[in-house]
Structure 1
Amino acid sequence: MKIATYNVNSVNARLPVLVRWLADTQPDVACLQELKAAQEKFPFDAIREAGYHAIWHGQKAWNGVAILARGGEPVETGRGLAGDPDDLHSRYLEGTVGSVRVGCLYLPNGNPAPGPKFDYKLRWLERFTARAAELVASPNSVVLAGDYNVIPEELDVYNPAGWEADALFRPETRAAYRTLLAQGWTDALRHLNPGKQVFTFWDYTSGAWRRNAGLRIDHLLLNPAAAKRLTAAGVDRDVRGWEKTSDHAPTWVELQDG
């Protein structure tokens, strides 16, 4: 079973890229972030024509997450996170595909930091960590996939010294991510690429793609039941080089049948 995460950076603007990638790689599950589309503007017909069922949590102009499944309809098990009834951002969607529980997330960027946006990022991370604590010990496989907007280690950024003050790399952010992992989650891409520099995002500016000035901020975390099934993980790096593409590249794991 192949499960991917992809920040599409506007599902309608990047629809040709998304459909091409789905056709080329045929993931069983695709978690999308930053839809930038109201609920009624999600391109359901085009996604269905591409061979995928979908559930989605849209928001006009910003945010938005979706879970696509090739083998059948994803069964929604929750949207949004508990702990802040005033938070109306569309950043979390959860569902089951077969026997696998999938959480799709778009964690806040948090810049400028320090400041209110950074405070919101850390609060959101706390709420997400609380939900993750409820899922980690499940006897069934759980995958938490998305754009975490977290650079976990120095190895995950092309120039660590230049990012020390950024909300993605601040000590508070990295410590919160380590707290999440300590529950028993496996960062699949790092687990299978120890000591290797692997990026999932390249900014549109300053020739970042050409210079390979990237970041690793898209992660798939596996609970112990899923980690036992992990056989491969990677990044569809070439997609970042396509015309009118997202600044993220699809990132994926493969789980053996279980």
Structure 2
Amino acid sequence: MRVATYNVNGINGRLPVLLAWLEATAPDVVCLQELKAPDEKFPAAALEAVGYGAIWHGQKSWNGVAILARGSTPAETRRGLPGNRDDVQSRYIEAVVQGVAVGCLYLPNGNPVDTPKFEYKLAWFARLIDYAAELIAAEIPVVLAGDYNVMPTEKDVYKPERWTNDALFRAEVRDAFASLVGQGWTDALRHLHPDETIYTFWDYFRNAFSRDAGLRIDHLLLSPSLAPRLTAAGVDRSARAMEKTSDHAPVWIELTG
């Protein structure tokens, strides 16, 4: 079972790239973030034409998350992260696919750090940590996949000294990620590649991709009951090299059973 996460940075504008990647790699489950489209503009028919059912939680111009499943429609179990009924941002959706609970998330960016955006990021992170604890307690196979907008360690960012006061690398955010993982989650990509330089995002500016000046901000976390099934993980850099592509690359894992 191959599970992938991909921040598409506008699903309709990047649709040719997404479809080409799906046809080339055939993942079983895909979590998408940053749809930048309201629900009625989600390209369900185009995805169905290449063999994928979908559920989605869109939002005009910003945010938006979706889960795709090859050959079936994901069984939705949650729409929106609990803990704040007034939060209208589309950042979390959850479904069961092939017996695995899949949570797709798009954690807030949080910049600039001296604004309410950073406070919202920390509050959203705290809600995620609380809910993730419930998932751990349920003792079911879960993957929490998405754009976390955090580089957990210095090895996850090109020239970390330049990012010290950025909302993606602030100590408070890295501590929150460490608290989340500390519940018992396995950071799949780093678990299998503990010492490698691996990035999942490269800015469009300053030739960042060609210089490999990137960030690792897209993560797949596995619950204790799912982690033993992990056999492989990687980043599809070729998708980032395509024309009119996202500034993120898809990240994937392979699970046995």
* TM-score, length basis structure 2: 0.99
Aligned to 2:67: 67
Shift of 1:138: 3.5
Aligned to 1:120: 120
Cα distance in 2 between the residues matched to 1:74 and 1:137:
23
Tell me the SS of whatever aligns to 2:40: helix
- Deviation track 1:208-257 (CA, whole Å, cap 9, x = no partner) reads 01111000000000001110100000000111000000000000111000
8 Å contact from structure 1 (residues 185, 224) kept in 2 = yes
Aligned to 1:16: 16
Match for 2:256: what amino acid? Answer: Q
Aligned to 1:28: 28
- Deviation track 1:172-212 (CA, whole Å, cap 9, x = no partner) reads 00000000001000000000001111000000011101111
**What is the 5 A alignment of 1:1-258?**
1-257=1-257
Cα distance in 2 between the residues matched to 1:241 and 1:204:
11
Identity %: 64
Cα distance in 1 between the residues matched to 2:190 and 2:138:
22
Match for 2:145: what amino acid? Answer: A
8 Å contact from structure 1 (residues 29, 70) kept in 2 = yes
Match for 1:200: what amino acid? Answer: T
Tell me the SS of whatever aligns to 1:93: strand
Cα distance in 1 between the residues matched to 2:114 and 2:154:
20
Cα distance in 2 between the residues matched to 1:40 and 1:90:
14
* TM-score, length basis structure 1: 0.98
Cα distance in 2 between the residues matched to 1:137 and 1:218:
24
Cα distance in 2 between the residues matched to 1:184 and 1:98:
22
Tell me the SS of whatever aligns to 2:61: coil
Q: Which moved more, 1:69-78 or 1:175-184?
A: 69-78
Cα distance in 2 between the residues matched to 1:4 and 1:192:
15
> Where in structure 1 are there 5+ consecutive unaligned residues?
none
Cα distance in 2 between the residues matched to 1:139 and 1:176:
22
Cα distance in 2 between the residues matched to 1:91 and 1:118:
16
Could you say what the CA RMSD is over the residues aligned between the two structures, in angstroms?
0.7
- Deviation track 1:132-166 (CA, whole Å, cap 9, x = no partner) reads 11112434310000000010000000110000010
8 Å contact from structure 1 (residues 8, 33) kept in 2 = yes
8 Å contact from structure 1 (residues 57, 79) kept in 2 = yes
Tell me the SS of whatever aligns to 1:150: coil
Cα distance in 2 between the residues matched to 1:20 and 1:172:
38
Cα distance in 1 between the residues matched to 2:256 and 2:138:
18
8 Å contact from structure 1 (residues 137, 224) kept in 2 = no
8 Å contact from structure 1 (residues 99, 140) kept in 2 = no
Question: How many matched pairs?
Answer: 257
Tell me the SS of whatever aligns to 2:119: helix
List, as ranges, runs of 4+ consecutive aligned residues in structure 1 with deviation greater than 6 Å: none
